[in-house]
Each structure stands twice: as structure tokens, then as C-alpha cells.
Structure 1
Amino acid sequence: MTATQDQPAPVMIRLEGVTKRYPGQSRDAVEHLDLEIRRGEIVVFVGPSGCGKTTTMKMINRIIEPTSGRILLDGEDVTRTNPDQLRRRIGYVIQQIGLFPHLTIGENIATVPKLLGWKRDRIAARVDELLRVVGMPPEEYRDRYPKQLSGGQQQRIGVARALGADPDVLLMDEPFGAIDPITRDRLQNQLLRLQAELHKTIVFVTHDIDEAIKLGDRIVILQEGSRIAQYDTPEQILTAPANDFVVDFVGRGASLKRLNLTRLSEIPLRQWPTIPVGETPARALELLRSVEEGALLVLDPERRPLRWVMADDLRRGGERGLAGIGVSAAGTVEPHATLADALNELITARYSAIAVTDGDGVYLGVADFDQIQEAIHDMRAAAVSESRAGLVSGG
């Protein structure tokens, strides 16, 4: 069933009075938690250390058994089902990745399908499909071992393995926490791209409010004992925090954090003058003289960005061809990237615009500082309007 504004998606996960108290402890780690998570949403659990967010998530697939309460998965009480069978229906991704070092990448991804008794041909097709889904060509990566991959690549394989049996629910426990910031941004964007295609129900645990704002359809901010301080959309949490705890947890810069609420797909991209890499520098210089922009974007035969070239580049190094002059256009972003991602790229870019590409790297347009500044202006105007509306309704 497709959710609409009038008809929300059905509840996929329901927690009813879920409590967890560890032996020998005088207080509950999770205290009588009630929560509904709708099908196809990314719901992010966030809160300070020790608030019970990971414990809560692990009770959903019964890695940790609840002391009391009920957990329903698509209407079925999972506290009464076989835990091993339950875990095969739920994908699970952890920070440490947990790939089996003695198995190839293909064998790692095939783990759950094999346990479920899938036929060999079906497993092989699924492995190749998932490698393509996470952007890793199967002919290149299928027979490698985990130690031959970077940390970011291993984490992508961890996601592929969790999706092996095509589960409806994916649990992700701080999956990008041990990755460097640049790779982390890319993995977050890839997760958003995957979700746009797959529409899974995802429970994501993080300690990072910026990550929660970027990824979550809804965010659960938890206090000690997994008590809910606020369960809402990222925009509502930033513009209408429920209490002082939420205000303190979100911290300063709430307006700037709203840059994580708008994606490049939601704003009109600017079109930039481009030229195929096979054209001559003389033709490029002629084109450059006819446009207002100070550079051309050189595209390869598949229309993927290669270089930014300016007039001086063309005059000094024209004999090398367009592929050998200018500066690299490698720092691209996809439409699922946020304005904050684009701003980060622009700050470190060697040119004043950043190329936007689709999932295959094909050029779509550019984003620049003027567009981001305009978006910030619109956000500020919207915030003022919301504030005035609140004053009127409150009066």
C-alpha cells in the first residue's frame, strides 16, 4: 500500500510496553517503551550514551530479549516466534561490519540466502544484483576477500549482505560511525539512494544528531531509560523542539542544520556550459568567449564530468587536449545529497560550482554558492513565517 497525506503507511514495527532490566540492576535500561514505525520509513534512534537506543533496536530482532512487553512485526508478535527464524527476516548492519574474513565477498552476501535454502542459481543472481545495487561491479568484487577492500567498501558489502534475502526491515547500529567523514557522507548518500529504490523499513541508531537529521524520515530522541523526549520529523525537531532536553541535545546551529533537510533534487540545478573531451582547445576557447561563465565543464563520452577548464588553461596547455588541462571535476554529488553536502564540497572544491551527477555519474547540472545562499534565505523566511503564525495562534 502506498502512503498518501490522507492515508499514512501501515505500521510495520510496534513496540508495546517494552521493558528491559538486566539482572542485578535496580533500574530499567529500557522503560515501558511504546513506539510505532511505519512501513518504508527510515526512523533514527538518537540520544546520549546509555539512553538505551541500541538495546531497543536489538530487542526488535531479539538479539536482546525484552523483560516484558510486546514487539510486533507486520502484526506478528515476534516475542513468541523462533528468534533464529526472525533474524533471517531482518537485515542487520553494525559498525564493526562483521564480514567473515575467510569467505569471499560473494559468499558473505550469500550467507542468509544459503541458510534459507535458496538454489545456487538464485543465490548467484542475487549476489550480483546486490553488488550492482551498492555500486560495486560483481565481476570486479565478487571473488575478492574483505581484507582487499577499504573500510567504506566493506561497509557497503555489509549493507549488501543485510539485504541478501530481501528483508522488509533493516536494522543499522551506528553503521558509519568508524568511517572517515568524507566516506561517511558518501555512504549516507548511497543509503538514501538505495532507500529511494528499495523502500525498506529502516531502524537506524546513531549518536550524531546531524546524521539523524540527514537520514531520518522521523527521529526518536531518547532520554535515559529509552524514554522518548520527542518523536517527530527532522524539521519539527529543529523548528519546534518538545522540551529543553531536545533543545540542548540538538545544540546550537539549528538553522544551519536545516541545510540537511533540503536535497539537491528539490532545487532547480543550474545548467553550465559543457564541451565533449574530444573537441579541440581552439573550439573550447571559442565557446568560452560566447558564455558568461569563466570556465567550461569537460565531459567524457558517457557525459561524465572530467575537468574544469578556463581560458588560461586553453592558451597555455592546449596542445595536450582537453583531458590534460584544467582542474579535476572529480568532486561530484548526486541528487540525494543535501545542501550541507554540497556546501562541504564547494568549500574544498577548486572551482566555484560543483557538478551534480546521477547514479551512473552522468552530468545533470551544477550547484553553486548562490543557490545555497538562496535556499538559506528561503529557510529563514519560512522560519519567520512559522514564528509569526505561532504567535498569532498562541494569542
Structure 2
Amino acid sequence: MTSSPNVSQPNRKVMIRLENLTKRFPGQKQNAVDNLTLDIYEGEIVVLVGPSGCGKTTTMKTINRIIEPTSGRIILDGEDVTTANPDTLRRRIGYVIQQVGLFPHQTIGENIATVPKLLGWDSKRVTARVDELLDMVNMSPADYRDRYPKQLSGGQRQRVGVARALGADPDVMLMDEPFGAIDPITRDRLQNEFLRLQSEVRKTIVFVTHDIDEAIKMGDRIVILQEASRIAQYDTPERILTAPANQFVADFIGKGASLKRLNLSRVSDIELSSWPTVRVGADSAQVLDQLRSSGRDSVLVLDDAGRPRRWVGAGDLQSSPSGALEEIGVPVEGMVEPTATLSDALNELIAARNSVTIVVDPAGVYRGVVDINQINETIRAMRSTSAAQNAADLAERSTAGSASERP
């Protein structure tokens, strides 16, 4: 039922291979990591998740040898780096931690430039890379390059931490609960922004979290670990939710699997619904006519750039017939971008006016809405797909069992 950690995937390059990796700390009777074998493929986010003390962070830190393994091998892009110079190895691997770890006495630009400078890049190349990365994490170089970490919010510092990890354009990144110390709203935004960034840079990422919902949202594949980093299941989020390998995995996932599956689908995966829209300079009488013919309770007012600004209903138009559209009605709240999950969209929808979530592009331009019917339809489709997959798995196991019983 579960995927083997070494199952062959044709045409996929193994970027990280852990072979019989073991770590026992001095004075301990049991291994913190016990004979772990794991293949991680190029361009994937692989999330290590499990209960506290299972060894997930220890496993991740052996990859860049912040923690030296007791035995076993670490193979990076085909090269055995188990005994390589650890400082040289770490310069090849980006590293992001929960508390960011920026150097407080250095500017943001100097922080991001840390590894490129260690690698001997010339100053012009370093400056260009710093500005490129600040743009990449949506922080204007002119505004942020010369600031210090204490002048940033927690979310901004975390973005800089990601930018610094990408400084020398490493093929591999390690992320140790990078969004764990941030408030829930900022965490959701940073998760979505990071997934957008990953769609562009396609790094191989090992991501540690204790949160199964975050694992489902962020991971291309998930490793659910038991004590001593023993693999309970290594599979895609879809398979883990629909076909848990054993009771440990089922208990770890917990209840509400249908809702958790909404983290597997993004707003960009569905066809958006339409909503009546008007521009801020539209005539109120014409807007009222449009509203009445639409069958909706309100129209969505867009500014001259097409960005949502206000909800305006018939009562607003009738009570202020000469009022400017940008001054009546209620402000728009709860917008998401196409990279957001349907779970994000549902969270916004529950409290939203008109029971829809507005979708905008990265520039804030209106693209459509998501309503509850679309979310329900997605859940039904997931259930149908899961039932078909599970039936196929059962048939395959039955066939394999029959074949093994033949003389």
C-alpha cells in the first residue's frame, strides 16, 4: 500500500540518496536515526513529518552534516559526500531554519550575499544576485537592501532567510520548520509565496514540519516517520490521505481527510466562476440596471487597473445615487491568488461577503471567484478518484497474491 523509499521512477534523477543512515548520540542506548534508506528526486519538495522526537530534524541535519552520521552514506547528485569537507558541502546546500538566523549587524543585502562572497564572487555579480533574490521574494531591493534585520517584520525576515538560502543558486535546500514561528495568516501567505517561487526555481527541497496539514500543502511527497526515523509511509499526499499504510499513519493524519484533501488542489486547478463587475467611474444608474439583471445581491467594483476594491449592493446605489462607487458599499476582503489551495479559498469563503472568494493575480488584478459549489464538486471528484484508485490497488494485490500461490 505504501511506496517503497527506493521504488524506481523512470526518467527521474535521484538528487539525494541516504543509504543505511544511522545516528546514535554519545551516551544514548538507542539510535536517533536507525538504518534509514531514502531516495529524494530532483525538483521535489519532500516533507519529513512525524511526532516529536522521531528523528526528522536529526535526519535532515545529517544531509549537510551539521550532525555527523554514525554510519551509512549520503550521496548528493551522484557524489558520496559522507566524508567530504563539511564546509564545502554546506555551501552547496541552502539552509532555512525557523528562527531565520540572520546576522543582526549586517544589512539585508550583506546577509543574502554571505555564501556568494565565501565562494569568491566578484562584487558586481554579488550585487546583481542580491537584487535578483529580493525581487524574487517580493521585496524591493531599493527599499530593503540596506535595512537591518531588526527593521523587518517576522514574515519579512523569513523571506530574507529564504533569499539567503538561495544566494549561490544551490540545487538542494533544507528547510527546518521555516514557517513555524509565524502567525497563521502570515504563515499561509508565506507558504503560498514559497510554492509560487518553487514553481519557478524547481529546487530539490527537504522540508521538516510537525504539522501534517503543512506537509500535505507543501510536499510533492511526504515521509511519515516513526521513532528513530523509521519510515511508516513514503508517498504522495494524495496516496497518504486515501490509502494510509497502517494504523500509525491513519492516526497521525487524524480525522477530516476530505477537508485535508483541499490542500492538494490549488485555485489554479479549477475553472473560476464569474461575478458582475464594474469600474469605479461607472454611472450608478447603469450599475443598478446591471445588478438587477445579474440576479446577484451586489457588484464587485474594480479600480482602473482591474483590482477589486468594494462590494456595492442595490441599497447602496439607491441610498447614494450620486455617490462615487469607491466611496459606497463595503471594502473587499479575503482575496487569494491562483497558487492558494482550495483550503485557503474555503477559509476565506466562510467569512466572505456573498459567500465567494475573490481570486486575483500576483499584481492584484481580478480573475474570478470561487464558490462553495466548486469546492463541493472538487471534494466529490477526489472521493471518486480515491475509490477508483483503491479498487485498482486491491485488484493488483489480489492478482499478485494469486500469482504467488501458483505452483
**TM-score bucket of the superposed structures, by smaller chain:** over 0.9
Q: How does 1:72-83 map to 2 (within 5 A)?
A: 72-83=75-86
How far apart, CA to CA, are the structure 2 residues paired with 1:92 and 1:317? Answer: 56
Q: Distance in 1 between matches of 2:317 and 2:113?
A: 51
Moved more, 183-192 or 273-282: 273-282
1:22 to 20, 25, 31: 25
Q: Which residue of 1 aligns with 2:107?
A: 104
Report deviation, 1:345: 0.9
Bigger drift between 282-291 and 70-79 goes to 282-291
Q: What secondary structure sits across from 2:48 in the alignment?
A: strand
The answer to whether the 8 Å contact 1:44/1:204 transfers is yes
| Contact map agreement 1:11 1:37 (CA 8 A) in 2 | yes
Name 2:67's counterpart in structure 1. Answer: 64
Q: How much has 1:314 moved relative to structure 2?
A: 2.2
Alignment correspondent of 2:4: none
In structure 1, the residue matched to 2:310 is: 307
Aligned equivalent of 1:221: 224
**Runs of 4+ more than 6 Å apart:** none
Whether the aligned pair in 1 keeps the contact of 2:98 and 2:177 (CA below 8 Å) is yes
Which position in structure 1 is the counterpart of 2:134? 131
Letter aligned with residue 298 of structure 1: V
Inter-partner Cα distance in structure 1 for 2:196 and 2:349: 21
Give deviations 1:163-195, integer Å, cap 9, x for gaps.
111111111000111111111111111111011
Structure-to-structure mapping, 1:303-382, within 5 angstroms: 303-382=306-385
CA gap of 1:290–1:10, structure 2 versus 1, over 3 A, is same
Match of 2:177 among 162, 174, 177: 174
Q: Report what 2:301 is aligned to.
A: 298
Task: Label 1:223 to 1:391 Cα distance change in 2 as closer, same or farther (>3 A).
Answer: closer
Paired with 1:200 and 1:227, the residues of 2 have a C-alpha distance of 25
- Residue aligning to 1:277: 280
How many matched pairs? 391
Matched residue of 1:377: which SS? helix
Structure 1: distance between partners of 2:286 and 2:273? 23
RMSD: 1.8
**Cα pair 1:305 1:330 within 8 Å, conserved:** no
C-alpha deviation, 1:390, in angstroms:
5.1
| Structure 1 residues 30 and 106, CA gap change in structure 2 (3 angstroms) | same
Q: Distance in 1 between matches of 2:253 and 2:395?
A: 26
**What are the superposed Cα offsets for residues 174-231 of structure 1, whole Å, 9 maximum, x if unpaired?**
0111111111111111111011111110110000001001111000000111010100
Contact 2:16 2:77 in 1 (8 A): yes
Paired residue secondary structure (1:166): coil
Q: Percent identity?
A: 69
Q: Which residue matches 1:189?
A: 192
Which deviates the most, 174-183 or 290-299? 290-299
Q: For 1:13 and 1:41, locate their aligned partners in 2 and report how far apart those are by CA, in whole Å.
A: 11
Per the TM alignment, residue 6 of structure 1 is displaced from its structure 2 partner at its CA by 7.9
TM-score normalised according to structure 2 size: 0.92
Q: TM-score, normalised by structure 1?
A: 0.94
Is 1:211 the equivalent of 2:211?
Answer: no
1:39 Cα deviation after fit:
0.3
Gaps of 5+ in 2: 1-7, 399-407
Match for 2:17: what amino acid?
R
Equivalent pair of 1:327/1:350 in contact (CA under 8 Å): no
Residue 248 of structure 2: aligned partner: 245
- Is the CA contact (8 Å cut-off) linking 1:318 and 1:325 kept in structure 2? no
Residue 24 (structure 2) pairs with residue 49 (structure 1): no
Task: Summarize the Cα distance change of 1:351–1:393 in structure 2 as closer, same or farther, 3 Å threshold.
Answer: same
Q: Structure 1 residue 161 and structure 2 residue 164: aligned?
A: yes
Distance between the aligned counterparts of 2:71 and 2:315, measured in 1? 72
CA deviations over 1:311-338 (Å, ceiling 9, x no partner): 1222234544122222222421111111
Structure 1 alignment gaps of length 5 or more: none
Q: Which residue of 145, 149, 164 maps to 2:148? A: 145
Aligned-pair distance for 1:373?
1.4
